[in-house]
């Protein structure tokens, strides 16, 4: 073995000079190469601690695992490893209790933690960074943090779906107009409408679940870009940190942010789904519709018009979709021209990611509150049903008598036109009038003009009949593991 990598006897702790300990507390970790001072504005521009301090716990978790790995590689003695881990836990406690004091030289969470560790345990702290780069450290921290946040987000998605299920079961008898082009089309169940949005949230749940294994890959042990020279057991590190696998190329390990792009893309689509739910409920809550009313907890008033009750929660949900999409588009632009390996541009990954995760979390919680407390007005929904919405049922009536649908569609259209001319509802046309259009219309036609029977006829899988809706509910229960 080269003398450069000579192992230190396990029984020996070699102290560093006091000067080096002092240097760790006051200087940049990379400062040995430079003689001139950094522009104060550059220091501020470069400092990411206000953003990445949220990673303090995950940074310490990664460092504890790394301390164990370099002991295993013979770099630390058991005493040194214990001392480092004890010190790291003290640093973590200071962050958790709000007693951590930053200094001007703390560029990021990694340097802050290492600097404070040196103050607590002395020069042995300088051994922790042996063979390790901040490039791999930050990649590890972000993956650990995002893994935890993703699991929380999955729980929020399941919770929202369960709220949709509860309302769909409870209000399964309520009918309402279904719309295409925002024009009344056919009668449906309110529950069917709710579950249509639950379907989007379910696919969001599936996509995020599929993304989790790609987040949960270990970059630790990759060094700055070329790998670790101390025979670090990367499998041991991955197991210590609960990673599912190891990124097997050191260049990729330190520079890969595809998992962040995927998360931001997922978040953009999920916020789009949330925005569409919000838009429907905003429309349905207007006086012109009057189908639903938001709880006071999710509404605000006007500073000028005292009669107003504004759906601000829904409007904010709709608006924040653009915010999240902007984060995704912006970070994609950051990535698109980067050369291989680590570049400082990648520091721009955290702010959009952290804000998107927070926005998604808050949005799912707000939407869950809105849906669970929403008041509905079945009588208004029923009153909005109109007989022309049964024109397709009229066509289907003739289909059952053997007439091709393309003909029945035309015949039904003529019946609708005739009702408009006579200024009556479709159901109020006389049988003789209808026979004048087609002789196959008979007395049993009256059964067509029944909204409940119309929705019950849509009993194929995915339809709006009660049996189909109940089947949807049962499938949702299985997806989220709901008893």
CA-to-CA distance for 263 and 360, rounded, in angstroms? Answer: 11
CA-to-CA distance for 360 and 155, rounded, in angstroms? Answer: 12
Contact 216, 147 (CB under 8 A): yes
CB atoms inside a 10 Å sphere around CB 50: 11
Pairing state between β 183-189 and 175-180: antiparallel
Q: Hey, CA dihedral for 49, 255, 265, 216, is it positive or negative?
A: negative
What's the per-residue H, E or C state across 146-208? HHHHHHHHHHHHHHHHHHHHHHHHHCCCCEEEEEECCEEEEEEEHHHHHHHHHHHHHHHHHHH
CA-to-CA distance for 195 and 469, rounded, in angstroms? Answer: 8
Helix (H/G/I), strand (E/B), else coil: 245:
strand
Burial status of residue 343 (CB atoms within 10 A of its CB: 0-12, 13-18, 19 or more): middle
Pairing state between β 245-246 and 217-218: parallel
**Which of the residues are catalytic?**
181, 302
- DSSP letters, 423-482, are TS-GGGS-HHHHHTT-TT--GGGGGGS-HHHHHHH--STTSSSHHHHHHHHHHHHHHHT-
Q: Taking Cα atoms as reference points, which of 51, 239, 268, 45 lies closest to residue 142?
A: 51
Which residue do the tokens 């005739």 mark? 418
Query: CA neighbours within 13 Å on the CB side: how many for 270?
Result: 30
């Amino acid at each position: 073995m080269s003398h450069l990598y000579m192992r230190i006897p396990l029984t020996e702790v070699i102290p560093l000079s006091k000067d080096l300990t002092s240097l760790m507390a006051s200087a940049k970790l990379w400062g040995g190469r430079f003689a001139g001072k950094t522009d104060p504005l550059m220091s501020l521009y470069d400092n990411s601690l206000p953003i990445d301090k949220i990673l303090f716990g995950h940074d310490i978790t990664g460092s504890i695992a790394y301390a164990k790995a370099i002991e295993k590689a013979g770099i630390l003695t058991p005493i040194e490893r214990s001392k480092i881990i004890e010190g790291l836990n003290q640093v973590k406690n200071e962050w958790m209790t709000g007693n951590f004091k930053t200094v001007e030289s703390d560029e990021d969470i990694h340097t802050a933690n290492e600097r404070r560790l040196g103050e607590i345990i002395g020069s042995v702290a300088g051994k922790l960074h042996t063979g390790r780069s901040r490039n791999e450290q930050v990649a590890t921290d972000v993956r650990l943090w995002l893994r935890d946040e993703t699991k929380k987000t999955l729980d929020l998605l399941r919770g929202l779906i369960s709220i949709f299920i509860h309302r769909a079961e409870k209000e399964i008898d309520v009918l309402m107009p279904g719309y295409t082009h925002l024009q009344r089309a056919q009668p449906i169940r309110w529950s069917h409408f709710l579950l249509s949005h639950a379907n989007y949230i379910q696919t969001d749940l599936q996509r995020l679940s599929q993304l989790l294994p790609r987040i949960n890959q270990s970059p630790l042990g990759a060094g700055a870009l070329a790998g670790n020279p101390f025979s670090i057991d990367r499998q041991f590190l991955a197991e210590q940190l609960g990673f599912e696998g190891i990124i097997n190329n050191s260049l990729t390990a330190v520079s890969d942010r595809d998992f962040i792009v995927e998360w931001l893309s997922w978040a953009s689509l999920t916020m789009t789904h949330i925005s569409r739910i919000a838009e429907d409920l905003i429309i349905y809550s207007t006086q012109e519709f009057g189908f639903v009313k938001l709880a006071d907890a999710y509404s605000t008033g006007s500073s000028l018009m005292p009669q107003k009750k504004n759906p601000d929660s829904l409007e904010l949900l709709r608006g924040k979709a653009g915010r999240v999409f902007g984060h995704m588009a912006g970070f994609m632009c950051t990535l698109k021209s980067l050369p291989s390996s680590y570049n400082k541009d990648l520091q721009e990954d955290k702010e959009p990611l952290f804000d998107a995760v927070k926005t998604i979390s808050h949005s799912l919680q707000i939407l869950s509150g809105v849906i669970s407390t929403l008041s509905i007005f079945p009588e208004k929904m029923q009153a909005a049903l109109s007989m022309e919405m049964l024109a397709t049922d009229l066509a289907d009536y003739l289909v059952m008598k053997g007439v091709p649908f393309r003909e029945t569609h035309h015949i039904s259209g003529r019946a609708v036109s005739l009702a408009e001319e006579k200024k009556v509802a479709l159901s109020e046309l006389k049988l003789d009038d209808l026979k004048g259009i087609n002789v196959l219309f008979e007395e049993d036609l009256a059964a067509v003009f029944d909204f409940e029977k119309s929705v019950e006829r849509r009993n194929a899988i995915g339809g709006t009949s009660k049996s189909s809706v109940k089947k949807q509910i049962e499938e949702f229960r299985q997806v989220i593991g709901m008893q």
